[in-house]
Structure 1
């Protein structure tokens, strides 16, 4: 999901409906705050010594302590204004940075917004680390692993 896709999905929802982000641990606290929308250009080197470049976007949320969940229209306005001011933000892959009670921040992938029972909910699923060469190797070799003691001569985990 990108900020632009999220914004387009939210435009079909009632603007006054509360927007509630939900993790496996429960919903974000009402009164949450959008601390920032970030756009980053990343250059990395993986464990197979491959250099890669990409852009990404992050939505950082501060857990709330009361006062009601942010309405869809207000959140959509924040995203729209951010897209207008930050070149490249609109179409970059988006993740969420958040921690319940604002401690132990985690990275989450966004689900599709869903309107039910008078609120719009967006499920957040935890991300995990991946060995990119292992994923590529498995895709090319029908699920075989490239890391471990039985593999020699691969470009994985050098």
Structure 2
């Protein structure tokens, strides 16, 4: 069986996140979820790497790597938001013991210690007013065969698609 091409995914990878954060290691790293920023004392409590194999609802085999970063959203000891370099150092320390694939899909697990963990995917970090802002959006369920069909349909309707008879790209 052929594995599904996960490059269609819009998820940020661990490697891309670390590359961006390396451009300003002293900048505070502030995650936003559920319409608010994480508290300044947040902790990275766990980093997990997984290799997954699955059949989707269309009986298509797929395999992928995924890294889960768990954030505990607390305010403690009058801390400020973690610098990007410290976050990167935590990931490097984990990678000394656990194989972290830089091209792996990245999922954030967030809880304030009272509400259950919720899964989020990360938008690309943006440097704004001296801080890195990373928006975390709830990770929705989806139908992968439908998603692949939508990508194919969008490619067909593109003015520059190979099958297009449009002269917009001539």
Alpha-carbon distance between aligned partners in 1 of 2:55 and 2:88, rounded to the nearest angstrom: 35
Alignment equivalent of 1:95, drawn from 92, 107, 110: 107
Q: Are 2:24 and 1:13 equivalent residues in the alignment?
A: yes
Structure 1 unpaired stretches of 5+: 144-158
The 8 Å contact of residues 41 and 54 in structure 1, kept in 2 or not, is answered as yes
TM-fit CA distance, 1:58: 1.1
Alpha-carbon distance between aligned partners in 2 of 1:141 and 1:112, rounded to the nearest angstrom: 26
Q: Are 2:84 and 1:72 equivalent residues in the alignment?
A: yes
Alpha-carbon distance between aligned partners in 2 of 1:140 and 1:36, rounded to the nearest angstrom: 37
TM-score by length of 1: 0.77
Alpha-carbon distance between aligned partners in 2 of 1:72 and 1:138, rounded to the nearest angstrom: 36
Alignment equivalent of 1:130, drawn from 142, 146, 150: 142
Q: Structure 1 residues 102 and 28, CA, compared in 2 at 3 Å: closer, same or farther?
A: farther
1:51 counterpart residue number: 61
Q: How many residues align?
A: 142
1:56-99 Cα shifts (integer Å, max 9, x gaps): 11111111123222122211111122234322432211121113
Alpha-carbon distance between aligned partners in 2 of 1:40 and 1:55, rounded to the nearest angstrom: 6
Q: Are 2:4 and 1:4 equivalent residues in the alignment?
A: no
Q: CA RMSD in A?
A: 2.2
TM-score by length of 2: 0.72
Alignment equivalent of 1:31, drawn from 37, 41, 51: 41
1:8-61 Cα shifts (integer Å, max 9, x gaps): 11111142x321101242001121110111110111122222232211111111
Structure 2 unpaired stretches of 5+: 1-11, 156-170
The 8 Å contact of residues 41 and 80 in structure 2, kept in 1 or not, is answered as yes
Q: Are 2:116 and 1:116 equivalent residues in the alignment?
A: no
TM-fit CA distance, 1:100: 4.5
Alpha-carbon distance between aligned partners in 1 of 2:105 and 2:122, rounded to the nearest angstrom: 10
